[in-house]
Each structure stands twice: as C-alpha cells, then as structure tokens.
Chains A and B, each alone.
Chain A
Amino acid sequence: MPQIEETYDLVVVGAGHAGCEAALAAARMGLETIIFTVSMDSVAMMPCNPNVGGSSKGHLVREIDALGGEMGKNIDKTYIQSKMLNESKGPAVHSLRAQADKAEYSRAMRMTLQSTEHLTLRQAEVTQILAEGKRVIGVKTYSGGSYYAKAVILCTGVYLKARCIFGEVSYPTGPNGLQAANHLTDSLVELGIPVRRFKTGTPARIDKRSIDFSKMEEQKGDEHIVPFSFTNTEEDIKREQVSCWLTYTNEHTHAVIRDNIHRSPLFSGAIEGTGPRYCPSIEDKVMKFPDKDRHQVFIEPEGEYTNEMYVGGMSSSLPEDIQYAMYRSVPGLEHAKIVRTAYAIEYDCIDATQLKPSLEFKEFSGLFAGGQFNGSSGYEEAAAQGFMAGVNAARKIQGKAPVILDRSQAYIGVLIDDLVTKETAEPYRMMTSRAEYRLLLRQDNADLRLTDIGYEIGLIDEERYRKFNEKRDAIQKELHRLETTVVGANKTIQAFLEKAGSTPLKTALTLADLIRRPELNYEKIAEIDSERRPLTPEVVEQININLKYEGYIKRQMQQVEHFKKLEKRKIPESIDYDVIDNLRIEARQKLKAIRPASVGQASRISGVSPADISVLLIYLGK
C-alpha cells in the first residue's frame, strides 16, 4: 500500500511548551521543520496550573526571551494577572509570575506556529523513530506516513503510555482525556533507549458559580506590571487584571483525607511512578506533615471565558466521592461543583544523563530531547530545554558547534547541567537555590547576559539588538559618570543628606558612593545630581543593583572564574575510564555511565570525589 513520504530538515515530536519553542527556534533559523501533535487542540496546552513563571521559573522565561524564544511574548499577550514575587527580598530572587488565560495562551501560540515560515504543524501520532545504525533519519506516524529528517527532537511531555488515575479508576489517556501515545516507547526501547516511569498530578477544577468568594481573601495583581518579554514595555501590555483567591484547608479536611487514605492509589500501590516531592498531593501533605493544621488553597481562574477555577494546593488522586467531601470542607467551597476531577498521571520518560549538554542523545546522532520527557516538570523548564534542543539540532544540521550555556551564564545552564549530570529520582523542578551564582543570574539582567548569544544564534533581529546595545551602553556610561563625579562637603550636599536621613560628608565622595548607602539610591539623589540625563527605569534599575550589591556581585564573579577553569578542561569523547587506575570503583562506574563533557561536569557527578578528579586530571595530563 503506498504511503505518504515527506522530507524535512527537522522533525519535532510534540507541540507542548518544549516542542513549540524547539520548532519555532529551528524554523526561524531557516530549517524546514515539521511539528507533530496528537491533537490540534493541545498546542501549548497548560494541563495543570494556569500560570507562567514564579520563583526561578520566571527567570527561565526571561532567559528564553533574551535568547529569542517565544514563551515570554506569548504570556505577555495572554496574561490576566501579573505579580512580581519576593519584591521585599534581594533582586536575585525577584520573580515574575503571571496568571494565563489558558485557552488564549494555547490559541496565540498555535497562531504563531502557523504564521511562521518554514514551519508545518501536523496532527498525527508519531509511533516510531527511523534510524540507520546509530543515526536517526526520521519518524513514522500511526497511519504509516514516513517523515525523513536530519534531526528529530522528542518533546513528548507526559503522553508516552500515559495513564490517569484517581481512586480505583484508571484511564489510559493523556491529560484532559487526550489520546495517549502508546507506541513510541516501544520504538525507543527497541533502539536501546531505557525509559522510566514518573508521576505527577493536578487538582480539580471547580465551577466559579458554586464558590463563595466572600469567605476567601482576594489576591490582586500588581499595579505596576513588568512584562516577561524584553521587547515589551508596561504600556504595551497593561490591562484590567483578574483576581485569585486564598482559602485554607482545616482539621475537617485533614480528617476526611486520613480516614480515606487507604483508597488512595498512591498509598495502595496502584501508582508505581515516582512523583515530585516539591509538588505533593494534598493527601501527601496531610500525611507527611501531620503537625500543620492548615494548608493554603489558591483559587485561580483558568481564563476569562470559562467558569473553571483551578484549586491550587489541592492536587489529589483520591476517589471522586472523597474529592467532593474534601473540597467541600474548605471555606468558600461548601457547595463546590467539580467540573474536572483531580487526578494523578503516570508517563514514560528518560533519565537525561543519556544526553549530552546539547540535549542530543550520546548514543544517537541527530536525536534530541527536551521537556518533561527528560524527567523535568513545569512549563518553563520544558520550554527552556525545548528551545535549546531546537537551537542545537538546527546548528548540528548547519554544521555549527552546539550552544551550551554554563551554570554561571543562565538558569537554563543550571537546569540542563543538572539534568544531564545528576541522576534525579523525581521530576526535576527549578529552584533558585540550585543556582550557585544566583546573584549574577537575575531576572532583571537576563537580556544583558544572553542577548549577545541570541543574536549570534540568529534569533534576535538587528533592530532589537541595536536597542539592546543602546541600553547596555547607557548603563556603562552612567555607571562611569557616577563613579567619576565627585561631590564635596558643601552646604547644599550636607543639607540634602540631613534631609534624606543620611550621614553628612567628612570628605568628598563620588555619586556612586552615595548611591551605595543603604538609605539612598539613584532616584533619591536626583536633586544633587544636576548633570544627569533622563534614563529608562530598566537602566536605573541596573545602576542601583550594580552599585548597591557590588561587593557581593564581585565575590560571585571571582567564584565563577574559578569554576570556569574546570569547565574549560574538556574530556575527549573517546576516553576509556577502564584504563585509568586509581579511580574508585564507584567513580569509574559513574563516569562511564554519564561520560561528562568536561572535568567541571565530572566534578558535579555524585559519587565522584575531588581525589577522583585529581586522578582524572593526572590522566588527562599525559
């Protein structure tokens, strides 16, 4: 029977947050790209929480944007509430989070895909990877079509052999009842790619009309909006915002859960996959933290044109009847009507230590992977990997070296390095504490860190790059001016300082010195700085941060220099660890399994000690 045969440069399997970024990046780099989705209705779908960003995840989104990715722009178009978290803390942990209109988010991303040149969006289930020896040559769909390509990126999310479970009920489907991908795993296993099983979960959605908001605390968005994308200003995206609501579980809720815990598939053993500790179900929280007498519950709108409300903090896989009892014990939810039942979902994914830092499989040339398939969790983590996989697959086809961001450059670098280096026993989530150089990796300076790289990749256009350089120059010039402008201890200055609650001058100081004082900043010293020219708030922000936290920033920069030395020491792919005597057995096994690209990466593998690294360096010195 004749079958469809088509040829592209690149195939992307899956059109979630990873797949969309991968396909857009590659197509924009000029590669003929086809992206497959099991359903046109699930492009960039948000099957769990209705928001983008949050602590450290917001950093990822801004980095994707600085490199020329899409997520930041898309959430700016479709957000319904925006908040900067941790504003009372240091600038390194300020984190942007926006509530999304889920349907709009998905629709807008689909439209972007469909209006991008060189990009074909196709609804079909990919069932097989086509390979010649250790080189991938394309994919096959369920209907028998063959799509040949020079590279394939797997972004299958939670769809591989997906199973949704609550109580005694189990459906063989992906999220939201969408069709699971039941064949691709077999093809991977046949190719010799080991898979494992992870689990995650989501809470119920409740009909807005059945909720009594008067019993909850209103959570409004910020007045002053910071866009995710560096291409947008507040004016561009300002809009009327929608509120979220806060309520709490109580002893009654906990009693319901405890009394029925035997019916939870997690506790009965019906779920075999490993779930994330940082995103526990409500039954997990109640059982593991018996001392807590209440847990927060956030009621969040799923969009403007739906009555569905997300019950943040109460994901569950308890049976439906218990879910009703449990949700209805929460103030404001006494008469709750469930629209969608909470469930746990199990899926196949890989241990990402099979991948190189470029996200290409070590054992398969041309096969790349990104997103939840790599054992991560979260829309932002997925998008970041998808973007890098797309860029690196495209560069491989173009005969260029991969772009690897290291831990001192970006959260994306930390994320991917952790995934490909450390064996994680649970879905991996980004956290700011994972970034050892976080004072340098701020969300406010993502553009300063990464726009050059985005430009060099070819995803930042000339106009944007020019504006960026203007901003960078403005910061440099103004910092220089402040460092070299000296103010003396004259009457005007002393009077100003007294008024501002600051100590009078004993000797002359620079304007920069004044800004460094905790009680002062760039804006506050305006009246004694007559020469200043108007600057954008973004430039002023950089100036304040650079001066006020200078000591800390410099210290971290020194640490980075240290770190770079070992990163630069590359390990040849052909290295044979068996001939290096004196490596401890555990270290040898780990090094053989992970095959780190640099001595730096080797030093982060758990089970490889500093002494093993010494031995390795001696060997490499031969």
Chain B
Amino acid sequence: MFQTDTIAAIATGMTNAGIGIIRVSGEESIKIVDRIFWAKNPKKTLEKTKSYQALFGNIHDGDVIMDEAICLVMRAPNSYTTEDVVEIQCHGGMIMLRKILELVIRSGARAAEAGEFTKRAYLGGRIDITQAESVMDLIYAKNEMAARASVSQLRGNLSEKLKEIRAMILHHIAYIESALDDPENYSLEGYADALQLQLEDTIERLDMLLATADEGKIIKEGIRTVILGKPNAGKSSLLNRLLGEERAIVTEVAGTTRDTLEEDAMIQGIPLKIIDTAGIRETTDTVEKIGVDKAKNSAEDADLILYVVDGAKTLDADDRQIMELLTDRKVITIINKSDVDQVVDKQWITSNLSSPVVELSAKTGEGMQDLYECLKTMFFHGKLTMNDEVYITNVRHKQALAEAKRSLCQALDSIRGQMPEDFLTIDMMAAYEQLGYILGETLDDDLANEIFSKFCMGK
C-alpha cells in the first residue's frame, strides 16, 4: 500500500482559472487513465503512446463527457517519480478538477498521501536526500498535527456526529463478538433485525455528510494563515493588500476589527486561508475582549502566523503577550509602515525572534514582494505537496466516508441475504476504521476494551 499502488492528486494550484493538472503515478497509471480518457482519434490510446507524447481527447464518466483534456504520458523511469506517470491537463475549474480526480480514484488509483509523489521520486533515486528530508519533515509535521488538523477541518458538529456513529458501530460489533465468543451467555436471537434498522439509519446519516462534502467548499481549505498584532499595527491593511481589494474595515481608530475575518487568497500559487484577527491588547471592552480571545484561539489553530509589528511604535507589553503565542509556531514577522519614520527596535526583533523578518508598507505595497518571496521559501519544498495535501485531505475524507458507507451497505446486504452475524462485524469493523481515519484515531484495542467493559464475559 505504500509502494506499488497507483496514486493520484491535483498538481496545480487551487485557482479557478487556467489549466488544471491531475497527476497519476504508478504501475497502473496509464491503464487507469485509459479507462476514462477517450482520444479524439479513436485508434489511439495512452497505452500505445510514447513517453513524453500527449493525446488530445475527452474525459468520460461512462458515456458522459466531463471535460476536454490533454493527457501527457511519461514512462518509467523518465518521470518525476520514476514510475509511469500520466498528467491530465484540463480546463480546470476547481469543481471539475475535483470530480475528475474522484473519477480517477474510482477507476483504480488511490488519493496520494502528503508528500507521496516526492517520496516516490526519492525512492526512485530521482531527487537527493536534502529534498527528500524536507518531505520527511512535512510528513512529520503532518503526523504531529494530523489529529488536530483533521478535526479542526471538520467544523461545526461534524466530528461529533462521526464520533457518535463510530461509538454506535463499535457497540454493536462488541455485542456480536461477545456473543460469538461466549455463545452460551449472549444470544443473537433477533439481533440482526434491530441492527438492520440502525444500519439503514446510519447509512442515511453518512449520505447526508457525503452530500455536504460534495457541495465543494474547496477553496476554504488552504494554509491557515493568521494575522496577529497589536491594534492598529496594520493587520487589516495587510489583509487587503494580500487580497488586492478592500475587505476589512480600515480606520485610524485602533480596535476596529472586533471579530475575525476569513478570506481565501492565492499568493504566488500558494493557497492561503487568511484569518484577520482583532488586535491583541489588554482591554476592558467586552466586545473587544471576545475578539481578542478569538484571535488567540485562531493563533493556536494556525499553520502560519503573520505577526505584524507597527514600525512607527516601540514594542510594549502587548507585543510581549503576542510573542508568547508564537513559540514553536511557523511565523513570519512583518515590520509594517516602512513608509513612515521607524522607531521600533529592529535589532532586538531580528535577534530575539527566530522567525524571518520582512519590512514592508501595507499601505503603499512597498516590500510586499519580499513577503511573497519569504512565503515561497518557507513552502518551497512543500509547495506542490502542500497543494496536494490541503486539497487531498478533503478528497481523502470523502473517500473514507464513501468507503465507510460502502462497508455498512455490505453489512446491510449481508443481513438481507440472511448471512450469519459474524459476517456483519467484518464490514462494520471496516466502516469503524474508515471513520476513525477521518478523525485521526487509530484502532488499537478499541474492540477488546469495549467488549470487556460493556459485556460480562468469562468462564
């Protein structure tokens, strides 16, 4: 599962314009794309196409044409991953790209893990260890943050719902397994009927979740970038500059942004989900205080923090309070208002903060290019994979949901086919595992614990 199967991901940035590319890599990649790609010249297939040659045609979902596309074949070992690779270039539109990716996955590929293309490139000897190490760093970071990130992606009570469903499934598995283990003590008489109703209900609930996943909140997923700073340091101006338009209310009065604002932006191909926060300072204003607390919470969830310092003021206690939030986080420190006289102790900042420091003026735009370069450097190795990852996480979650549903449907079919109960738990266990995957929870001894804590077993 880690080595030889075929993986797929969207390789281009998440804009709504231009051409989008889906990259498929692995032994089966050519075969898989041939299943959904019909060349304009019906005699031609990708299988018969030479390396580094492309075909023009349509992507088909069954008889339905989804999009026009150019498919480029790169044969092993002369590709980025050293495996057979097909790149599907289509007109894009995020929704369409995502649908085509799902089609590729349905046709036999697997959604790529974070950094997986690069991992394969390394294993194939294509790239050197420094590059590979940055991939491993990425996996590591992903690993550490997996639980938090995946849960925070599931906004609202979605994760609660999944947990509920999971607990219910586990309880039923545990009961059935107890009865199999100790048949003289626990009876399964009539159990399947009750379970059938429960499963039908659960499948309906999964369907509803799947439907919401379909509505495409695609652009909402980006690198969570939180702008932090004291009131009136110029956070909203920076946001507007990044977005290229006036979004946040900008006034000369400190404390204007009293809530957090979320905006999506594509900066040099890097998808950012930018969160503007209320300025952090000691305050007695209740409304403002709520804003400040929210800002702190946002900072905890952030993938990247843009810390904005007012270059025209000296650092004070409020700044120190903010700096505490920056420990062990990915941060770019921005000294704003470079267009006016600078009084802030830049020397102190560069030597005391471990983050890169950029001087700019959000108002005039001077120095913005430096910020972009800094962003690019930070995400350089991970740039492509970061795109994949942010994107794929969603597709993977959706895939996991769909798998879970399929397993439960199989269990339901087994009940209808009057299969014995031990067949049901196998599929239910698979569903339990898939849902756990979304929540970042592993299996371990869940079942044994449930059995022993809920059911009294023993000779």
Least Cβ distance of B168 to chain A in Å?
18
Interface presence of A399 (CB below 8 A): no
Task: Tell me if A341 is interfacial: C-beta within 8 Å of chain B.
Answer: no
A618–B123 touching, CB < 8 Å: yes
A161 to B450, CA, bound (A): 33
What 1/0 mask marks residues of chain A from 287 to 325 whose CB sits below 8 Å from any chain B CB? 011001001101000000000000011010000000000
A88 contacts B177, CB within 8 Å?
Answer: no
B1 within 8 A of partner (CB): yes
Q: Beyond A55-B182, A615-B140, is A431–B420 a contact (Cβ under 8 Å)?
A: no
Q: Is B52's beta carbon under 8 Å from chain A?
A: no
Q: Is the CB of A582 within 8 A of B140?
A: yes
B3 within 8 A of A: yes
Residues of A within 8 A of B421 (CB): 89-90
- B358 proximal to A (CB < 8 A): no
Is A614 an interface residue, CB under 8 A from the partner?
yes
Q: Is B380 an interface residue (CB 8 A)?
A: no
| Contact status B456-A285, CB under 8 Å | yes
B80 proximal to A (CB < 8 A) = no
- Bound-state CA distance A259–B3 (Å) is 61
User: How many residues on A have C-beta within 8 angstroms of the other chain's C-beta atoms?
Assistant: 52
Q: In the complex the two chains form, what is the Cα distance from A571 to B447 in whole Å?
A: 29
Chain A residues, CB < 8 A from B448: 431, 433-434
- Taking CB as reference atom, which chain B residue is nearest A556? B426
Q: Is the CB of B143 within 8 A of A55?
A: no
With CB as the reference atom, state the residue of chain A lying closest to B2.
Answer: A617
- In the complex, identify which listed stretch (B26-34, B65-73, B129-137, B397-405) lies at the interface while the others stay far away: B129-137
Shortest distance between the CB of B303 and any CB in chain A (Å): 17
B143 touches A609 (CB 8 A): yes
| Most interface-central of B123, B137, B180, B447 (chain A CB within 10 A) | B180
> Interface digits, A573-616 against B, CB 8 Å rule (1 contact, 0 not)?
00000000110100000000000000000000010011111110
Once bound together, how far apart are the Cα atoms of A611 and B135, in whole Å? 11
- Which residue from chain A places its CB closest to the CB of B139 in the assembled complex? A611
Which of B4, B132, B423 gathers most chain A CB within 10 Å? B423
- B321: interface (CB < 8 Å): no
| A439 interface residue per 8 A CB criterion | yes
Whether B425 is near chain A, meaning CB under 8 Å from some CB there, is yes
User: Could you tell me if A93 and B422 are in contact, using CB atoms closer than 8 angstroms?
Assistant: yes
Measured between beta carbons, the chain A residues less than 8 angstroms from B444 are 606
Known contacts A277-B452, A584-B143, A611-B143; A90/B457 CB under 8 A: no
Task: Type the 1/0 row for A258-290, where 1 means its CB is closer than 8 Å to any CB of B.
Answer: 000000000000000000011110000100110
Q: Which residues of B contact A295 (CB under 8 A)?
A: 456
A582 to B442, CA, bound (A): 20
Of all chain A residues, the one with the shortest Cβ separation from B116 is: A614
B139 engages A288 (CB within 8 Å): no
Contacting residues, chain B, for A278 (C-beta < 8 A): 451-452, 457-458
Determine if A296 and B181 form an interchain contact, defined as CB atoms under 8 angstroms apart: no
From A89, A279, A285, give the contact of B422 (CB < 8 A): A89
Residue of A552, A582, A609, A615 with highest tally of chain B CB at under 10 A? A582
Across the interface, do B143 and A296 meet the contact criterion of CB distance under 8 Å? no
CB distance from A72 to the nearest CB of B (A): 21
Contact status A90-B423, CB under 8 Å: yes
Taking CB atoms, residues of chain A closer than 8 Å to B426 are 438-439, 552, 556
Is A40 located at the chain interface by the 8 A CB criterion?
no
Q: Most chain-B CB neighbours within 10 Å: which of A85, A278, A312, A433?
A: A433
**A276 nearest CB neighbor, chain B only:** B458
A438–B122 Cα gap in the complex (Å)? 38
Chain A 87-110 against B: per-residue CB contact (8 Å), 1 yes, 0 no? 011101100000000000000000
Interchain CB contact (< 8 A) of B140 among A298, A556, A566, A584: A584
**How far apart sit A617 and B442, CA to CA, in the bound complex (Å)?**
20
Q: How far, in Å, is A99 (CB) from chain B's closest CB? A: 13
Residues of A within 8 A of B319 (CB): none
Q: How far is the CA of A582 from the CA of B451 in the complex (A)?
A: 36
B327 within 8 A of A: no
Q: How far is the CA of A240 from the CA of B418 in the complex (A)?
A: 36
B418-459 toward A: CB 8 Å interface, digit per residue (1/0)?
111111011000000000000000101101100110001111
- In the complex, how many angstroms separate the beta carbon of B189 from the nearest chain A beta carbon? 9
Write out the residue numbers on chain A whose beta carbons fall within 8 Å of the beta carbon of B132.
618
Judging by beta carbons under 8 Å apart, are A552 and B423 in contact? yes
Q: Is A253 an interface residue (CB 8 A)?
A: no
Which residues does chain B contribute within 8 Å of A582, judged by CB atoms?
A: 133, 136-137, 139-140
Contact B2 A613 (CB under 8 A): yes
In the complex formed, the residue of A with least CB distance to B144 is A584
B250 part of interface (Cβ distance < 8 Å) = no
- Which residue, A312, A439, A615, has most C-beta atoms of chain B within 10 A? A615
Interface 0/1 of B248-283, CB less than 8 Å to A: 000000000000000000000000000000000000
B440 to chain A: closest residue by CB: A609
Chain B residues whose C-beta falls within 8 Å of the C-beta of A88 in the assembled complex? 420
A549 to B133 alpha-carbon distance, docked (Å):
47
Task: Say if the beta carbon of B95 comes within 8 Å of chain A.
Answer: no
Which A-chain residue is minimally distant from B456 (CB atoms)?
A289
Most chain B beta-carbon neighbours within 10 Å: one of A55, A289, A518: A55
Closest CB in chain A relative to B134 CB, distance in Å: 10
A55 to B137, CA, bound (A): 46
CA distance A613 to B144 in the complex (A): 14
What residues on B are CB-neighbors of A296 within 8 Å? Answer: 184-185
Roughly how many angstroms separate A277 CA and B188 CA in the complex, as a whole number?
A: 22
Contact among A90, A246, A614 for B119, CB-based, below 8 A: A614
Closest residue on chain B to residue A202 by CB atoms: B459
Q: A49-B459, A55-B183, A518-B417 are in contact. Are A90 and B136 (CB under 8 A)?
A: no
Q: B301 on the interface (CB 8 Å rule)?
A: no
A433-B177, A611-B139, A618-B135 are known contacts; what are 14 more A-B pairs with Cβ within 8 Å? A55-B182, A86-B183, A90-B419, A431-B177, A431-B451, A432-B177, A433-B173, A433-B448, A566-B2, A581-B133, A581-B136, A582-B139, A584-B143, A610-B113
* A-B interface, 4 closest residue pairs, ranked by CB to CB distance from nearest: A611-B143, A90-B420, A277-B452, A582-B136
| 24 intermolecular pairs with C-beta atoms under 8 Å apart | A86-B422, A89-B183, A92-B422, A277-B452, A278-B452, A279-B458, A280-B457, A285-B456, A288-B456, A289-B456, A298-B184, A313-B458, A433-B173, A433-B447, A518-B418, A582-B136, A584-B143, A606-B444, A606-B445, A611-B139, A615-B140, A618-B122, A618-B136, A621-B122
Give B contacts to A, CB under 8 Å: 1-4, 113, 119, 122-123, 132-133, 135-137, 139-140, 142-144, 146, 173, 177, 180-185, 188, 417-423, 425-426, 442, 444-445, 447-448, 451-452, 456-459
